[in-house]
Copies of this chain bind each other. A is one copy, B any other.
Amino acid sequence: MSRWQPNARGRLEQAALDLYSERGFEQTTAAQIAERAGLTERTFFRHYADKREVLFGGAHLLQELFVNTLADIPESAAPIDAMASTLETVADAVFLERHEHSRQRQAVIAASAELRERELIKLASLSAALAATLRRRGVDDQAASLTAEAGIAVFKVGFEGWVGGNGEHTLADFLRESLEELKAVAAGAGRRKN
């Protein structure tokens, strides 16, 4: 019999997501999350640097997956194709079974400006890491930054479409569509309505 229940982090994350969903992020105190998880406020802040971070615990692993996936693609591929392939691979590896979970999580984030800020800086960090990986593959500085930023833009737009959809199409489907649209736009052929 151990002194504490196991998986403190997991309990904190679950309690936080539930409370943020029920009453909103701003209306939830760290002490309430800790209490629901059977811990104290002080312990909450030992596991997470701040109230928002508890929703982004997986971001580091996700970024690693992105970077490793991109690094494993043959350097013969054009940067934009390497990015496209990376996005699709990660989408299939992580987001195939998570439509409902992603939807709930995204709803919570969208409802709070503070959480949106945190999500944006995570995406910026991801973009910087992808750009650095492209540079290691021999891509020019500026081209690497722009390829990574474009990839993130494609991901944002595709993800938004996927989360708002009914689950009939996979995230990878949305990403392919989004990438094609970006190529069309960059070529000066932005699509008109209808």
Contact = CB atoms under 8 A, between A and B. Distances in A.
A113 B120 contact: no
Nearest to A145: B157
Main secondary structure on A side of the interface with B: helix
A166 interface: no
A156 B149 contact: yes
B142 A157 contact: yes
A150 B150 contact: yes
Interface in A130-151: 134-135, 138-147, 149-150
Interface residues of A, number: 46
A193 interface: yes
Given A116-B121, A146-B157, A140 B190 contact: yes
A191 interface: yes
Interface string A112-124: 0100111011001
A187 interface: yes
A85 B192 CA distance: 19
A181 interface: yes
Nearest to A134: B190
A86 interface: no
Interface in A89-118: 113, 116-118
Contacts of A79: 185, 190
